[in-house]
Amino acid sequence: MAHVSFDSSALKKFVHANELGEMQAMVTAADEELRKGTGAGADFRDWLHLPSDYDKEEFARIKKAAAKIKEDSDVLVVIGIGGSYLGARMAVDFLHNTFYQAQDPADRKAPLVLFAGNSLSSSYVYDMIKLIGDKDFSVNVISKSGTTTEPSIAFRIFKQRLIDKYGEEGAKERIYATTDAKRGALKTEADAAGWETFVIPDGVGGRYSVLSAVGLLPIAASGADIDQLMAGAAQAEHDYDNPDLSKNEAYQYAAYRNILYRKGFTTELLENYEPNMTMLAEWWKQLAGESEGKDQKGIYPSSANFTTDLHSLGQYIQEGLRNLMETVVKLDTPNHNVNIPEADSNLDGLEYLQGKDMDWVNTKAYQAVVAAHTTGGVPVMTVHIDREDEYTLGYLIYFFEVAIAISGYLNGINPFNQPGVEAYKTNMFGLLGKPGFEKIGDQLRKEMNENA
């Protein structure tokens, strides 16, 4: 089978047979906007050919740096927020042992990769410092500007700890900066200090950056094979370059979710049946939400982890407001399987399952859920993946990236900007007393007092 396949067979109750074909003209136009750069946000399309057209010299330096980190560090602290960490975090979870963080270092065979700068929680940073303890560690700071509040605070803290432990010269050999090629506060500091630097490409937005140095260095340092990751993405780039909906399953997914959106299914749940795909959903939520939530429209991206969340969200999904659609990422061949043992008694009621394997049960649960939810009025799409490895993940990443880009153009928005992200920052700077934002802070405090 293909490394990724899209199944829309459960949509028959919700989408008429002719509707996909009726989308072809719009999909063809959206494809032209994307491929020829005639659509909004054309300057941020370099991710399209990143799997096949990337800086080979930098790629070699990434692998060399990852090898050095493996050699001299027990821990790699990756500092970034949003697209600067979600892709790498997703890949590390997807590609490694479910309990990767708890593994013995000898079994893990690579540094423990931890992520900081993705919140303002003091307890989170304190606990990470305690976890690192006296272990040898390095830092990969990821920021286009170097002035984003959350990662800047975390970097200042962990940079000082490196200096305290190794001295200025020793720290210099353990800091890797992934940033703008020419400008910005982090680039200026990195050049002055002599840190090794990697580039965030100008034409690649954060949520599309996992296949650049942003994601590749942490993923490689975790022990994963980034050559295979890029090979899978390159194959997907080749496979999804035809706008013909009968041949392009990524475009089918984009078209179907827009058909459903126009029918009132305004929230999409990305679901899985494997706990180590939880961060895949977090990465997808940024990709979809930041790309499509504009101009008072767009599909709201949410997620659920099954079968776990069937015991908490299942009631709402089955009988709640009928604005939900579901996309399941279904693993067809698990990394490992476990048989259900026989027992002397049947007190737990499992006699009918003894001797069966858990993945068989998991798959039957998936099939039962699809049947129940479609009967209950919830459309379900499935993205099948054949295994959890680097090649498949690269392919899956590209599937979602190109589908969401096309989906944005189908909905008449710029899928590559994020103007609304700055709103909270402006207010936060005012309340924190950042120079230049004093009036905003005064006004916010006045409003807060009036509403108290």
If one counts every other C-beta atom within 10 angstroms of the C-beta of residue 160, the result is: 11
> 233 is written with which tokens?
């993405």
Are 84 and 241 in contact by the 8 Å Cβ rule? The answer is: no
Q: Give the active site residue among 425, 438, 446, 447.
A: 425
> 3 is written with which tokens?
């490394």
13-19 long-range contacts (CB < 8 A, ≥24 apart) are 13/374, 13/379, 14/260, 14/263, 14/265, 14/374, 14/379, 15/256, 15/259, 15/260, 15/379, 19/259
Q: Give the active site residue among 150, 282, 290, 326.
A: 290
Q: Would you state the torsion angle of the CA atoms of residues 286, 292, 298, 303, taken in this order, to the nearest 10 degrees?
A: -20
Is 351 one of the annotated active-site residues of the chain?
Answer: no
Task: Give the Cα separation of 407 and 412 in Å (integer).
Answer: 9
> 355 is written with which tokens?
């001797």
If one counts every other C-beta atom within 10 angstroms of the C-beta of residue 143, the result is: 27
Sequence-distant (6+) residues with CB within 8 A of 373 are: 317, 318, 326, 380
Are 143 and 84 in contact by the 8 Å Cβ rule? The answer is: yes
| Start-to-end C-alpha separation, the chain | 60
> 202 is written with which tokens?
């100008």
Nearest to 59 by CA among 201, 236, 210, 226: 226
C-alpha 309: how far from chain center: 20
Strands 324-331 and 380-385: parallel
Is 425 one of the annotated active-site residues of the chain?
Answer: yes
Angle in degrees, 0-180, between the axes of helices 278-292 and 86-95, rounded to the nearest 10: 150
C-alpha 62: how far from chain center: 20
Task: Give the Cα separation of 188 and 201 in Å (integer).
Answer: 17
3-class DSSP state of 229: helix
If one counts every other C-beta atom within 10 angstroms of the C-beta of residue 147, the result is: 11
> 154 is written with which tokens?
């975390």
DSSP characters for 294-350?
BTTB-PEEEEEETTGGGGTTHHHHHHS-S-EEEEEEEESS-S---BPPP-S--TTS-
Residues labelled catalytic: 290, 425
